[in-house]
Structure formats: C-alpha cells, structure tokens
Structure 1
Amino acid sequence: MNIFDQYLTFLSRIDAETSRVSQRLSNELRCGPGCNDCCMSFSVLPLEAAFLAHNLTLNSQTRRQARSAAEISNRCPFLAGGLCLVYAHRPIICRTQGLPIAYVDEEREAVIVSACELNFPADRSSFAEEELLFLDPFNQELAELNSAFAAQRGDKDAIRRIPLRHIASGTGG
C-alpha cells in the first residue's frame, strides 16, 4: 500500500472518531458551512502538504485569489466565501477544530482539554471522556506516516512545517 493510501486509511479513522464525538455533542456544536473563525493559515507536515498539493484542483483564478489572500491575511488561503475549497483533502488540524481536543500531560498526570469557545462557552468546565477527541494516538500515527514519507523521498527534515499559503501558491508540498 503506498503512503497516500495509508494516509487515506488514517484519515478515515480520524474522520470516524471526529464523527463520533460530533454526534455526541451535536446539540452544542455550531460548526458548519460558513463558520470559519478557526480557518487560519496553519502549517502542516510534509506528508499532509504533499497530499493536499497532489489533490489540489483549483482553477487559475481561484489559485490567484488564494495567493492574494495568503499574502494579505493570516486567514487560510483555501477559504473562499466562507467555505473550504479543499474540504475533502483538508489536513488533520482542520478536521479536528471545534471539538474538545484532549491531550495527556504525563508530567502533570492530567488530561488537558482545548475547546472552541464558540461551541463551548467558558462556563462549561468539564467534559465526559466520551465527549473528548484524544489526539495523542492520532498525532503519533501521523508522525510515523510522515517519517515514512520523508524516508521514501530522502527528506532529512521530516518535522519541518509547511505553511498552507506555500501550498496555495505552488511553492510548497
């Protein structure tokens, strides 16, 4: 199985988990078409950048708009009219935004939760375990896939981050 096929399998697992959490919290989630407060010009790992670039099918006008947007704003260059131009191929960070994200802090022996304030007001102080998206195992698997991808390409800098604006402009990925 090639690395992109492995990455697609990984994406289906993360999509299943985000769907499970989303269904559990459906009465509280405000995310949907037009909600783009979290759509910033993030950076991604080389595997994610290459996958996005490989699947990028923007016409020349849309690509020019993406380049212009990336130059003048910290917003995601793939955002147009409040909608994601690359939704089907969006990176992990975009697939998980809005949900209560949990990380295990082994040093403090605690679970750290980060949640979107638009979905979950500050007065919501706790979540049940089944309402959390634990990203540590997914991040570990993504790191392993990315390392394998970098090794295949002879890339010595597997952990470098590639800004989405570079992918939009055709200079990254």
Structure 2
Amino acid sequence: MNNNPVVTLQENASGFFDKISEKHSDKMQCKKGCSKCCQTDISVFEIESDRIEDWFAAQEPVEQQRLLDLWQTPNQETYCTFLYNDQCTIYEARPLICRTQGLPLYVASENVLDYCPLNFKAGDPPKEDWLNLERMNTLLSFAASTEKKDKRIRLKKLKTKLLTTLK
C-alpha cells in the first residue's frame, strides 16, 4: 500500500479515467498517440515534480540515458516539454492534470463542464461520470502544502534540471 498522497491521487485519477473511458469508449477519442491535450507548458507542484524525479532516478541507466538523449532534442515549442512523437516520455509519472485530460471536468464554482472537443460530441455524459476539478485540485493542494512542497514548477524547468543534474 502506498502512503504518498500524490501517488494515491494520481492512481485514483487514472482509475477514474480508465472507468469512464471504458464506459464511454464509443464517445471518447482519447487513445495512445493523441496529444491534443498536451499542447501547452504547464506548471506542477513541487511534490509532483519530485515524483517525476524519483521515477526518473528509478529507471535503469540505459533508459535514463535514452531519455536524456531524447530530451536534448527540440520538440515543438507549443507542446509539453516531455512530449516527443505524440508520446509522453514521463507517462508513468505524469502529473495529475495530465491523467484527467479528456474526462468531463466539472468546475462547480462556475457551474461549467469541460472536456476535450473530440469527446462526447452527442452531448454531455451523465453527472455521475463528471470529475469535480475543484475537489481534485483542493486535495492536491492540501497534499502539497502538508509536505511543504506547494511551490509550482514549470515542466520545462524540471526537464532542464533533469538534463543538468542527472547526467
């Protein structure tokens, strides 16, 4: 059993994504190779960047070197810094927000439901299939502040750190 609250949140988000994408497989276009959601540079809490660093450190040296070599090549500026050839190179350790892209995300304070425009073209899914984005962000923020890891880091900066300190 894992006691890291961020890992638990990430696993729960991935499980929810799997459940909803299986339930709505005919309505969701999310699949390997689709990177429409990855056309941005995001920032994550330190606690999530630490998880990415720990994941990288746990890789075999050959895999670490392969990633370092890949990350030294430029990718499209408008894409996530870890996206190469429409594939996430940190997929196993990807941040919470990346695990929820494509899902019906509900922002209660604004009474707004948002999801990828490629998904649910015939209309909104039932309310029980919505993910409350504010609740998820509150849990992540609480976990980060509890660990005193509540500063945010841009993924580009994290990649630069990995390239310079882990060679």
TM-score, normalising length: structure 1:
0.78
> What is residue 22 of structure 1 aligned with on the other side?
21
Residues 12 and 61 (structure 1), Cα distance of their counterparts in 2 relative to 1, 3 Å cut = closer
Structure 1: stretches of 5+ with no match in the other structure: none
The share of aligned pairs that are identical, in percent, is 26
> What is residue 53 of structure 1 aligned with on the other side?
53
Distance in 2 (alpha carbons) for counterparts of 1:31 and 1:15: 13
* Secondary structure of the corresponding residue to residue 170 of structure 1: helix
| Residue in structure 2 matching 1:76, options 73, 80, 87 | 80
Residues 59 and 168 (structure 1), Cα distance of their counterparts in 2 relative to 1, 3 Å cut = same
Deviation at 1:102, TM superposition (A): 0.6
> What is residue 7 of structure 2 aligned with on the other side?
8
Q: Report matched runs for 1:20-169 at 5 Å.
A: 20-39=19-38, 40-56=40-56, 57=59, 59-69=64-74, 73-105=77-109, 111-121=111-121, 124-150=122-148, 158=150, 160-169=151-160
Deviation at 1:64, TM superposition (A): 4.3
Structure 2: stretches of 5+ with no match in the other structure: none
- Show CA shifts across 1:32-57 (max 9, x none): 11101111321111111111112124
Q: Give RMSD over aligned pairs.
A: 2.5
The residue type paired with residue 63 of structure 1 is L
Deviation at 1:116, TM superposition (A): 0.5
Distance in 2 (alpha carbons) for counterparts of 1:113 and 1:142: 20
The residue type paired with residue 130 of structure 1 is E
Distance in 1 (alpha carbons) for counterparts of 2:68 and 2:78: 17
* Secondary structure of the corresponding residue to residue 117 of structure 1: coil
Distance in 1 (alpha carbons) for counterparts of 2:142 and 2:97: 17
Distance in 1 (alpha carbons) for counterparts of 2:99 and 2:30: 11
TM-score, normalising length: structure 2:
0.80
The residue type paired with residue 161 of structure 1 is R
Indicate if the aligned counterparts of 2:53 and 2:162 stay in contact, CA closer than 8 A: no
Residues 62 and 26 (structure 1), Cα distance of their counterparts in 2 relative to 1, 3 Å cut = same
